[in-house]
């Protein structure tokens, strides 16, 4: 090994393949490693910062991985609230790990060390870890709903022009995917801490608008139980075709684009479906940012509330893989 002591810092949110690569490289270069795990002052300005896991969860996940790799006994953990961590107190640290994203911080840290009479830290370069789409695997992309922890894009589920619901799943999908509440008033109680609200279905969208809770993404088809509804005047949105019993790629892309626009610039988005929107709740769940809520109506039962978590995404992915 090249170094006796090294340091690495990070948020380690939603621990993924990139984190694993980082730790593997650092422990291959240094005998002892100090791992600084970020506290809120360091990540409060990140995208969807409220969806970053708590410190204890992140630290525990890292420890579990290090235990599995037999690195844990060579590790010191500490919380950090700035980019320096222990580097301005411990003169004996020899090296620091950095990705392309964190590289600018190293010169800042070394300048401060020089002012204190400390030797500069040597750089352990961590290469980018890319997913199947050729893009960086990152916690941010997991939080905004683009990829899972293996870096696999959820959009990969929809590479065919359309997916068709197999008869074997019809009865299963008649059962609510999430929690059922009786009416819109009960739904509204869930909304204050919601990352994004996506509503699929004309009635639920209309009821929310009546209560001045316009969904971030509304998916409508001017039908209820396949009976035509009067089309409102002056309604604007993107129109897509989605036949009954299918999930069409163009509808999925419209959902993804709507979500991206809201994350980037805010505002509200409406998707108008020619055909039927019922099954579009499924891609809405897998493409939605963590912490979102996806609503749809269940006839004679009420409103189904789907709070978007990684676990729910896995459940929906398993269902979608059974489509034809």
φ, ψ for residue 171, nearest 5 deg: -65, -40
How many domains are contained in the chain? 2
Percent of the chain whose pLDDT exceeds 70: 97
The pLDDT of residue 188? 85
CA distance 219 to 272: 6
**pLDDT score for 234:** 66
Terminal alpha carbon distance of the chain: 52
DSSP 158: G
Answer yes or no: do 34 and 165 share one domain: no
- 139 & 194 share domain: no
Whether residues 304 and 188 share a domain: the answer is yes
What is the Cα–Cα distance from 46 to 139, expressed in whole angstroms? Answer: 10
Rg (CA), the chain: 24
Alpha carbons within 13 angstroms on the beta-carbon side of residue 101 total 13
Residue 146 has a pLDDT of: 98
**Same domain flag for 124 and 242:** no
Are 315 and 188 members of one domain? yes
Q: Are residues 115 and 176 in the same domain?
A: no
What's the confidence (pLDDT) of residue 226?
60
CATH label of the domain that carries residue 38: 3.40.50.620
Looking at 97, 116, 143, the residue that finishes a domain is: 143
Of 115, 143, 171, the residue that ends a domain is 143
What's the rounded mean pLDDT across residues 107-130? 97
Position 194 confidence tier, pLDDT thresholds 50, 70, 90: confident
Residue 240, CA distances (Å) to 237, 244, 272, 303 in order = 10, 13, 6, 24
224 within a domain of the structure (yes/no):
yes
Looking at the fold, whether 214 and 120 belong to one and the same domain comes out as no
Q: What is the pLDDT, as a whole number, of residue 5?
A: 98
Residue 52 to residue 158: CA distance in whole angstroms: 27
Q: CA-CA distance, 249 to 259, in Å (whole number)? A: 15
The 8-class DSSP code of residue 315 comes to H
Q: Are residues 253 and 109 in the same domain?
A: no
| Full residue range of the structural domain in which residue 287 is found | 154-320
Examine residue 148 and state whether it is found in any structural domain, yes or no.
Answer: no
User: Do 305 and 171 belong to one domain?
Assistant: yes
Distance separating alpha carbons of residues 37 and 61, to the nearest angstrom: 11
- The pLDDT tens digits of the residues spanning 248-298 come to 999 999 999 999 999 999 999 999 999 999 999 999 999 999 999 999 988
Residue 22 has a pLDDT of 97
Please give the mean pLDDT across all residues of the chain.
94
CA distances from 176 to 91, 153, 170, 173, 206 (A): 59, 25, 12, 7, 21
| Whether the predicted pLDDT of 227 surpasses 70 | no
* Structure tokens belonging to residue 159: 């590479």
The percent of residues above 90 in pLDDT, for the chain, comes to: 86
How many Cβ atoms are within 10 Å of 264's Cβ, its own excluded? 9
What's the order of all strands across the beta sheet hosting 95-98? Answer: 75-80, 30-38, 3-10, 95-98, 122-125
**Strand, coil or helix: what is 233?**
coil
Report the pLDDT value the prediction gives residue 238, as an integer from 0 to 100.
94
* pLDDT score, position 229: 67
pLDDT tens column, 26-43? 999 999 999 999 999 999
One domain, residues 160 and 100: no
* pLDDT tier for residue 223 given thresholds of 50, 70 and 90: confident
pLDDT for position 230? 66
Q: Is the pLDDT of residue 211 over 80?
A: yes
In terms of domains, do 21 and 118 share one? Answer: yes
Count how many Cα atoms sit within 13 Å of the Cα of residue 255 in the half-sphere of its side chain.
34
Average pLDDT over residues 166-171: 93
- 214 band by pLDDT with thresholds 50, 70 and 90: very high
In a shared domain, residues 159 and 82: no
Residue that finishes a domain, picked among 85, 113, 143: 143
How many CA within 13 A on the CB side of residue 117? 0
Asked whether residue 74 carries a pLDDT value surpassing 70, the answer given is yes
């Amino acid at each position: 090994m090249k170094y006796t002591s090294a340091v690495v810092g990070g948020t380690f949110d939603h621990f993924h393949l990139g984190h694993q690569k980082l730790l593997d490289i650092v422990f291959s270069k240094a005998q002892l490693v100090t791992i600084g795990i970020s506290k809120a002052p360091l990540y409060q300005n990140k995208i969807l910062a409220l969806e970053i896991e708590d410190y204890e969860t992140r630290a525990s996940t890292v420890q579990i991985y290090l235990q599995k790799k037999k690195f844990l006994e060579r590790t010191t953990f500490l919380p950090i609230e700035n980019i320096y961590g222990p580097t301005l107190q411990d003169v004996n640290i020899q090296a620091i790990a950095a990705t392309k994203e964190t590289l600018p911080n190293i010169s800042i840290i070394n300048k401060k060390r020089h002012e204190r009479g400390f030797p500069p830290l040597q750089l352990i370069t961590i290469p980018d870890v890319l997913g199947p789409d050729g893009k960086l695997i990152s916690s941010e992309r997991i939080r905004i709903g683009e990829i899972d922890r293996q870096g696999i894009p959820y959009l990969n589920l929809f590479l065919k022009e359309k997916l068709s619901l197999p008869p074997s799943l019809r009865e299963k999908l008649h059962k609510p995917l999430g929690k059922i509440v009786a009416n819109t008033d009960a739904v509204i109680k869930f909304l204050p801490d919601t990352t994004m609200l996506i509503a699929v279905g004309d009635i639920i969208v209309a009821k929310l608008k009546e209560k001045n809770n316009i969904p971030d993404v509304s998916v409508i088809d001017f039908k209820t139980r396949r009976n035509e509804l009067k089309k409102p005047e002056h309604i604007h949105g993107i129109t897509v075709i989605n036949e009954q019993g299918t999930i069409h790629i163009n509808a999925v892309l419209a959902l993804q684009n709507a979500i991206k626009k809201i994350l980037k610039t805010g505002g509200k988005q409406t998707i108008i479906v020619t055909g039927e929107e019922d099954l579009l709740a499924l891609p809405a769940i897998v493409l939605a940012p963590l912490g979102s809520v996806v609503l749809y109506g269940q006839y004679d039962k009420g409103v189904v509330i789907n709070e978007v978590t990684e676990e729910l995404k896995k459940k929906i992915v398993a269902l979608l893989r059974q489509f034809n």
